[in-house]
Chain A
Amino acid sequence: MLGLTKKDFTLFVVVIVMVALAPFLLNPFPQGSSLAQMFNAGYPDLMQRFVIFGILVIGFNILFGLTGYLSFGHAAFLGVGSYSAVWMFKLLGMNVIPGILLSMVVAGIFALAIGYVSLRRSGIYFSILTLAFAQMSYNLAYSVLGNPSSNFNLTNGETGLQLLLTDPRILGQSTTPDGSLPVTNFFGIAMRDSYELRLGDWLFTFNAGYYLCGIIMLISFYISIRIFRSPFGMMLRAVKSNQQRMNYTGLNTKPYTLAAFVISGVYAGLAGGLLSSMDPLAGAERMHWTASGEIVIMAILGGVGTLIGPILGAGFNEYFKNILSKINDSVLHQWLGFLPDGIEDFLVTIIHPFVGKGWHLTLGLLFMIVIIFLPGGLVEGGKRLGGMITGRTRRSAKAEAKQRNHPAE
């Protein structure tokens, strides 16, 4: 169906259902309970991040998972996309569609230029070239291109590019009648609008922006499945397994890898445009090398070269990043309040270094655990779990994963 095999179609339907029901799935605890404060993720901002970073990593996976080219500068396209979209909101109007389109176009052009140069090298030399381009973009966006007192303020430096009451917005209005900034919208539906459903103690939020991002993510996911299963995808895999041999057969592989690079750059630009559409402020930190590193981490965490891996990896990373950093001692005390005082204090002391200001530590440990024990990422974890249930031996699942996960460099 839809040109997909039965297996892929099932996967696609599962993802559709997950996206549609996320507001329920991510809010398993009743509102106001201490568990809710800790673990519920069903609020608009985080749900939007799940799907937006999903798009980003799906795109990255088309390059890295299929061709094996490890780009260490993908965050640059995210940043460029974000800036383009905000500029559209400043100059044109608050409808998100022109912003998103422009962000894809600009990121595509950037990717074409950077890819054309970087793809002249392979392996780590390619990675360092992409890293160098991204770091240059970051450093310039932070300083020279962002000085508010100069005439050429493209990025607004450290503060980030933001909307002002004095922006022209030729198709919209600079300021609403009550003196505030207009909000981003999709033909009238404001991105921040939400619909709340209260069921007993549970409160579920259905946010317009989230569903827009969700639909775009589903489209991106569908396109990625089609690319994976197309002759083009086959060609990219062939590049990964042995580029030299491909070249010996007289085939020029560069157009294929460049196409993959540009496609994944456009995906990143799209993600950037969506980030800006949900929250119209674009900061230079989005382009920092740690942001690029995070994309790589999300891809590997999920499972490189798999279809669903990127979505899982992005969700895992964003969830823990947002949840862990917000836990503080008083939340812990609330949560463990049912225990006797001594044990409660003891547990709080034990957990304390790993939450709040220690969230980096926990995330680092989680990365290590996943990568050490699940070489195929979370997807392999799922497979093993599935294998255990259906009674397949662990060994065969592992062997399969190993085969599938052949050097992904």
Chain B
Amino acid sequence: MDQIILQFLNGLDKGSAYALIALGLTLIFGTLGVVNFAHGALFMIGAFCAVTVQRILTLSTVVEDPTKTDFLGNPAKISTPYVESWFGPEMGAALIDWSVPLAIVFAIPIMVALGFIMERGLIKHFYKRPHADQILVTFGLAIVLQEVIKAFYGANPIPTGAPEVFRGSFDFGVLIGFDPNAIIYPYWRMVYFAFAAVIIGAVFAFLQFTTFGMVVRAGMADRETVGLLGINIDRRFTIMFGIAAAVAGLAGVMYAPINSPNYHMGMDFLVLSFVVVVVGGMGSLPGAVLAGFLLGILEAFASMNEVKAIFPGIDQIIIYVVAIIIILTRPRGLMGRKGVMEE
């Protein structure tokens, strides 16, 4: 029992990452009708925003210390971060410690701007092109973006820790009457789950309760009519692209402490998130979120030793097995609309 609860928690956490990425993908697909293979790269760039903020905060003055030597026998260079010399060692250290949450503030404008540039500079010209062309051009863009990141940051993962207070894990089991250590869960993963819930809620509320969101929803359903009503739908769609990029980027920022960011993390998530979107049903936002959590939880259950003993290797393929079953039993995924991407 404790195992099942534990894996359920794990699944929620995996699922929240899938759901966030799939949500952004669906926003872009639903509004613009573009299959964006560069979405994983946006997630990756978000994570590197966290890395960059950490780098900026640890920019240092370098002084030679003649009493110590480095590995070649030259005087050692001692570096002190500027923030520590400006705000005092304690405040400075705290700032560096909190670099990931701080990166959120930094990432939003960057991701939105990147989204605008992508949409206006490239995607716009592909609205009328076949989906295969869209896939190829965004895939090319994804390669270019990740190679640029690799050129600047290298291929090695870069450790980007969570703030000190969120390290370690919380013992859930004791709360609900299990032995100590039976169900433990890291604080930062709980933060990630809560964060994902807030973002998902915010996106839905925005679409549901604002005039802007109403127009966009109308545009998703019937772009032509909305255009005929004299509403500038293009500009709103550009903004939606920016929002989707920001959602992917924020998912990446907060993911940085969970796994050290590296340049190909976007590609690692890309295929999975497409499977999630399609399982959820093309163009359906609730479907994407639902499918994200569903696949996350099933993946966690499949990695249990008891399950693997019955089906060896099931954890390697569970996502795909589930995807095949769902697509075959529900022709348009869980909540897909008729006629979207079916021809």
Contacts and interface: CB of A to CB of B under 8 A. Distances in A.
Interface stretch (B48-56, B140-148, B240-248): B140-148
A367 B136 contact: yes
Contacts, number: 131
Contact of A297 (B136, B144, B317): B136
B147 A123 contact: no
A86 B333 CA distance: 39
A129 B274 CA distance: 11
Contact of B275 (A117, A128, A363): A128
A135 B274 CA distance: 13
B316 A367 contact: no
Interface in B130-159: 130-133, 135-137, 139-144, 147-148, 151
Nearest to B271: A289
Nearest to A359: B147
Given A128-B327, A358-B147, A364-B141, A375 B317 contact: no
Nearest to B323: A132
A6 interface: no
Given A129-B327, A131-B271, A297 B341 contact: no
B87 to A, nearest CB: 37
B289 interface: no
A132 B333 CA distance: 14
A407 interface: yes
Nearest to B279: A128
Q: Which of B274, B316, B341, B343 has the most CB of A within 10 A?
A: B343
Contact of A372 (B137, B312, B323): B137
A124 B275 contact: no
B332 interface: yes
User: Helix, strand, loop or mixed for chain A's interface?
Assistant: helix
Contacts of B136: 296-297, 300, 367, 371
Contact of A123 (B133, B317, B323, B341): B341
Given A140-B313, A144-B313, A358-B147, A368 B129 contact: no
A136 B144 contact: no
Given A144-B312, A367-B139, A409-B343, A360 B130 contact: no
Interface string B84-100: 00000000000000000
Contacts of A409: 130-132, 343
A361 B275 contact: no
A9 B298 CA distance: 55
A129 to B, nearest CB: 6
Contact of B140 (A304, A353, A364): A364
B342 interface: yes
B45 to A, nearest CB: 15
A408 B130 CA distance: 6
Contacts of B342: 121-125
B139 A353 contact: no
A313 B139 CA distance: 16
A120 B125 CA distance: 32
B132 A136 contact: no
A243 interface: yes
Contacts of A297: 136, 139
Contact of A125 (B143, B151, B331): B331
Interface of B: 35, 122, 125, 129-133, 135-137, 139-144, 147-148, 151, 267, 271, 274-275, 278-279, 282, 312-313, 316-317, 319-321, 323-324, 327-328, 331-333, 341-343
Top 10 nearest A-B pairs by Cβ distance?
A364-B143, A144-B313, A361-B147, A367-B140, A132-B320, A139-B316, A368-B140, A123-B342, A124-B341, A364-B144
Given A121-B328, A367-B137, 12 more contacts: A70-B131, A121-B342, A125-B327, A125-B342, A144-B316, A358-B147, A360-B147, A364-B141, A367-B136, A368-B140, A407-B130, A409-B130
15 contacts: A117-B328, A121-B328, A132-B320, A132-B321, A136-B316, A139-B316, A296-B136, A353-B151, A358-B151, A361-B143, A364-B142, A367-B140, A375-B133, A407-B131, A409-B131
Interface of A: 64, 70, 117, 120-125, 128-129, 131-133, 135-136, 139-140, 142-144, 243, 289-290, 293, 296-297, 300, 304, 353, 358, 360-361, 363-365, 367-368, 371-372, 375, 405, 407-409
